[in-house]
Amino acid sequence: MVSTTFMNLAQPKKARVTQALLQEFSAHPLAEAQVARIVTAAGIARGAFYKYFTDLTDAYQYLFGQAMRAIHAGLPGQGSAADYVAATRAFLDSVQDSEYGALIQQHFRANESVLGNRPSALAETPSAWAVAVLCHQTIKDVILAPDTQAARLQQLAAAVAKIRR
């Protein structure tokens, strides 16, 4: 878990460390990431890294959480099948336009399996769960194969329309 020491850093230093994490984890899978490159890029001592984070996985999870919060911010509300597809498209667009785009690609290409499987979130209804799973799988599939975006969004629209009836 990210330490309170890191959370209480002056904003310029915290931003420098976060940028170094982004640089490292966007360029290298978690299994190949190096604390040495992060501390050099951030201009901090190796011991400081371990005061801020338990290990590389802890640092990665912090950064990935930051990325998800930034990318999810401002997504449109959901309700109808069209709203779900629009939200999925907006998420994909925000990933492409985000400084976190390479990190998200690295996550699905290499890091998701390293972090272990996690169950999907429980939803209020079975159809809400099914739609959420389909939206997330569509996002993953498009990030892994960007040239399939139009077909996958069309497939999502058809599936969600059947579920939401």
CA nearest neighbour of 53 among 11, 115, 5 = 5
**Worst-scoring range by mean pLDDT, 24-28, 106-110, 121-125?**
121-125
CA 85 to chain centre: 19
- The residues spanned by each domain of the chain are 4-69, 75-163
Highest mean pLDDT among 6-20, 84-98, 104-118: 6-20
CA nearest neighbour of 142 among 87, 88, 78 = 88
User: Residue 117, exposed/middle/buried by CB under 10 A (0-12, 13-18, 19+)?
Assistant: exposed
Token digits for 40?
A: 């050099």
The dihedral region occupied by 114, where left means phi > 0, alpha psi between -120 and 50, and beta the remainder, is alpha
- The hierarchical CATH code for the domain 4-69 is 1.10.357.10
33: phi then psi, degrees, rounded to nearest 5:
-65, 155
Q: Is 153's pLDDT higher than 80?
A: yes
| Cα separation, 50 vs 2, whole angstroms | 10
DSSP assignment letter at 2: -
Tell me the average pLDDT across 128-152.
Answer: 93
Band (75; pLDDT cuts 50, 70, 90): low
Band (19; pLDDT cuts 50, 70, 90): very high
Token digits for 160?
A: 């969600």
pLDDT value of position 27: 97
pLDDT value of position 120: 78
pLDDT in tens, 38-57: 999 999 999 999 999 999 99
Residue with tokens 């998420």: 91
| Cα separation, 78 vs 86, whole angstroms | 8
pLDDT in tens, 89-108: 988 988 888 899 999 999 99
